[in-house]
Amino acid sequence: MESTAAIEIADLRKVYGEKAAVDGLSLTVPRGCFYGFLGPNGAGKTTTIKMLMGLAAPTSGSISILGHTLPQGELEVKARIGLVPDETLLFEMLTGTEFLEFVGRMYRLPRNVARERAGELMELFALDRASKKLIGEYSKGMRKRVAMAASMIHKPDLFLMDEPFEGVDAVGARMMKDLLLEQVRRGATVFLTSHVLEVVERLCERVAIIHQGRLVVEGTMDELRSGSETLEDIFVRVVGAERFTESLDWL
């Protein structure tokens, strides 16, 4: 086990015009950890993940992933991460199997290995019956399954996942969670965003909550909760939200 953290972010800022989408964010994500990265809509979660991926350049601050500083070590990092973005941008004119094989080749797997793993992943993700269908014909849940399968084909050390279970049925979501837990058991790190707080509470060892681009709290559930609070209770408390008490006369 390497001693460096999976992700180290120091005073990270990303400014669009006059607005800071991420404003002085500092985080350390240990290796081999299932890590939840939470916040309300517009808090800066997706912007942060784009910077971790190298798709958006920080305005200031520093990022280190798996011991490599970005952007200098970007190629080394990209070879060792698996990504499920919020918007599953897949090649719609390929079949699921063809897409997985293409991704495997992009990660420099030998052709026969990429083909074999693509077939195995299609079966594992219960997509083998749709193996000859074009991705353009897939449902949203099937697209998420293909995206997660693609993130695993090269056996990465770090997974960056932006709402990976969105649109996936209960059976598929359960299977995907079990697969991710197994990856953590083998020593990989999962960095996850999700609006389904019950899922994060069950899966994640550590949680960070950001609001308006700034870190509000970070720690284990035991460290964050007061009394018998759920993660939802903690989330509502720390982002300053109040319980909904108003109603409409006609509703």
Q: What pLDDT, in 10s, does the model give residues 120-137?
A: 999 999 998 888 899 999
76: number of CA atoms within 13 Å, CB side? 10
Using an 8 Å Cβ cutoff, are 18 and 199 in contact?
A: no
Question: Range with the lowest mean pLDDT among 95-99, 189-193, 223-227, 242-246?
Answer: 242-246
What gap in Å lies between CA 142 and CA 145, rounded to an integer?
5
pLDDT at 1: 47
Instruction: Give residue 134's region: left, alpha or beta (phi > 0; psi -120 to 50).
Output: beta
What gap in Å lies between CA 177 and CA 184, rounded to an integer?
11
Look at residues 128, 134, 144 and name the one whose alpha carbon lies nearest to residue 92: 134
pLDDT at 240: 76
Q: For residue 242, name the pLDDT band (cuts at 50, 70, 90).
A: low
Would the pLDDT of 112 be above 60?
yes
3-state secondary structure 235-249: HHHHCCCCCCCCCCC
Q: What pLDDT, in 10s, does the model give residues 17-39?
A: 989 999 999 999 999 999 999 99
**Could you tell me the pTM of the whole model?**
0.91
Question: What phi and psi, each to the nearest 5 degrees, are found at residue 53?
Answer: -75, -15
In this predicted model, which residue has the larger pLDDT, 239 or 156? 156
Helix (H) or strand (E) holding 172: helix 170-185
Question: What phi and psi, each to the nearest 5 degrees, are found at residue 182?
Answer: -65, -35
Give the contacts of 179 (CB within 8 A, at least 6 positions apart): 124, 148, 152
3-state secondary structure 34-103: EEEEECCCCCCHHHHHHHHHCCCCCCEEEEEECCEECCCCHHHHHCCEEEECCCCCCCCCCEHHHHHHHH
Q: What pLDDT, in 10s, does the model give residues 46-72?
A: 899 989 988 889 999 999 999 999 888
In this predicted model, which residue has the larger pLDDT, 107 or 241? 107
Would the pLDDT of 2 be above 70?
no
